[in-house]
Structure 1
Amino acid sequence: MAKTKPGKKDLDSYSIKGTNKTVRPGDCVLMRPSDSDKPPYVARVEKIEADHRNNVKVRVRWYYRPEESIGGRRQFHGAKELFLSDHYDVQSAHTIEGKCTVHSFKNYTKLENVGAEDYFCRFEYKAATGGFTPDRVAVYCKCEMPYNPDDLMVQCEGCKDWFHPSCMGMTIEEAKKLDQFLCSDCSSDDDAKRSLNAFPVSPSVEAKVIFIVEVLIAIDDFCLFVAHLSEVRWRQSVEKDDQVIMMHDEECREDTVLTQTRGFSNLPCLKVCMCARL
């Protein structure tokens, strides 16, 4: 009859030898590589278990560095960037050298100081195919590259996009001294607006002003014509021996002609103002 193998038991934690650090499922750890010239591997602990001889092993899910992926490291990959892979493995707990923290991309960009044990992850990686999830990310600048948190970028006050100083013809030192920044497209739009603001009267308003002036001139000419016509009629009435009474209005300081047509005594008198402009 075959003997039954002793069972394994799950552990809640594991103490890293030579340190006071404790590892629990869900923690990220640094694991000793087979080649001492390489940096430590990074993994997330999924499970801790011990056999009947008290040998502790950990089931881990590996993080890949960009240079370890099929596509290799690209310009927008950060120095502390990792990809969470679908590669699982079981390793001896003795290979754990220390703990680390793998931040989300958003939280990593908010760190005031990035320590040696700080990393970030924004992609999941399929080790067999080299595919990424998500397969698309936002791009910035004229170079249309994803954001690399290790590179300095400046934000345009107009379009709110982010730009690399080198892509805008600036040095990093010059970019750090800027109080505000406008990209080439927004600065061109700003210059155009300033040119329009140099003409406070719009063409439509200016046309209305000219029209009003022309109307006033026409009214003035009409007044002169009416006054002249009144004077002619007055002279004609004098020649016909009509009764004419000349009056002088001191308030208006203008000559006023008061005529009464013969034969129509029931009609009111006609009063015509002789404007002083004549």
Structure 2
Amino acid sequence: MGNLSMSDNRKRKQNTDFYKISGSSEIVRAGDCVLIRSSQPDKQPSVALFEKLEKLETDIEGDLMSANKIEGKCILHSFLDYTKLENIGPGDYYSRFGYRVGTNEVTPHRVPVYCKCEMPYNPDWLMMQSDGCKTWFHPGCVNMTTAQARQLSKYLCDECS
């Protein structure tokens, strides 16, 4: 194969065993999870799992993620495992869904929702259960602060009171 010029649309890929995150001592390998910086400054980073790492031998941009968007490594837990953690660190994340790239399959197809806001359970947000109907609510969705909700020994929603 001859040399590729910058105007050549072909890309030669070569598998690599690791990538050192610039500005850090962290090493990313296939199977690691990382935080990917959003191109929009006001958005949170995304979590990605690397199945394999490749380096391009040209500087031509493609639809591959650029390594310079990696902020750092993280740990991706199943939702159930995350809810069982005793200490949650800044690098701990959870996923409700699994996604298979080859088949575009997402599992599960949906999750239960709660509260008036019809959001899935989030272990990082306080919820309280009505003692009457056993429905779960976020304090803010029933015009209550988190501090007020923590002081309650019993709670009845508007429908039950």
The TM-score, its normalising length taken from structure 1, stands at: 0.39
**2:52 counterpart of 1:47:** yes
- Once residues 90 and 101 of structure 1 are traced to their aligned partners in structure 2, the CA distance between those partners, rounded to angstroms, is 22
Larger Rg: 1
Report deviation, 1:176. 0.6
| Structure 1 counterpart of 2:129 | 155
- Once residues 23 and 92 of structure 1 are traced to their aligned partners in structure 2, the CA distance between those partners, rounded to angstroms, is 13
Report deviation, 1:134. 3.6
Map 1:59-74 → 2, pairs under 5 A = none
Distance 1:31 1:120, change over 3 A: same
Distance 1:31 1:173, change over 3 A: closer
- Give the secondary structure class of the aligned counterpart of 1:26: coil
Identical positions, percent: 54
- Once residues 143 and 3 of structure 1 are traced to their aligned partners in structure 2, the CA distance between those partners, rounded to angstroms, is 59
| Structure 1 counterpart of 2:112 | 138
The correspondence for 2:36, drawn from 10, 18, 31, is 31
Structure with greater helix share of residues: 1
Distance 1:161 1:110, change over 3 A: farther
Task: State the AA in 2 paired with 1:118.
Answer: D
- Once residues 35 and 164 of structure 1 are traced to their aligned partners in structure 2, the CA distance between those partners, rounded to angstroms, is 29
Task: State the AA in 2 paired with 1:29.
Answer: V
For the aligned residues, what is the CA RMSD? 4.1
| Structure 1 counterpart of 2:23 | 18
Q: Which runs of 5+ in 1 are unaligned?
A: 56-88, 189-278
| Structure 2 counterpart of 1:202 | none
| Structure 2 counterpart of 1:107 | 81
Map 1:87-98 → 2, pairs under 5 A = 89-98=63-72
| Structure 2 counterpart of 1:122 | 96
- Once residues 117 and 141 of structure 2 are traced to their aligned partners in structure 1, the CA distance between those partners, rounded to angstroms, is 7
Distance 1:116 1:183, change over 3 A: same
- Give the secondary structure class of the aligned counterpart of 1:107: helix
- Give the secondary structure class of the aligned counterpart of 1:175: helix
Number of equivalenced pairs: 146
Report deviation, 1:118. 3.2
CA shift digits 1:224-276 (9 cap, x unpaired): xxxxxxxxxxxxxxxxxxxxxxxxxxxxxxxxxxxxxxxxxxxxxxxxxxxxx
RCO higher in structure (CA 8 A, sep ≥6): 2
- Once residues 163 and 91 of structure 1 are traced to their aligned partners in structure 2, the CA distance between those partners, rounded to angstroms, is 39
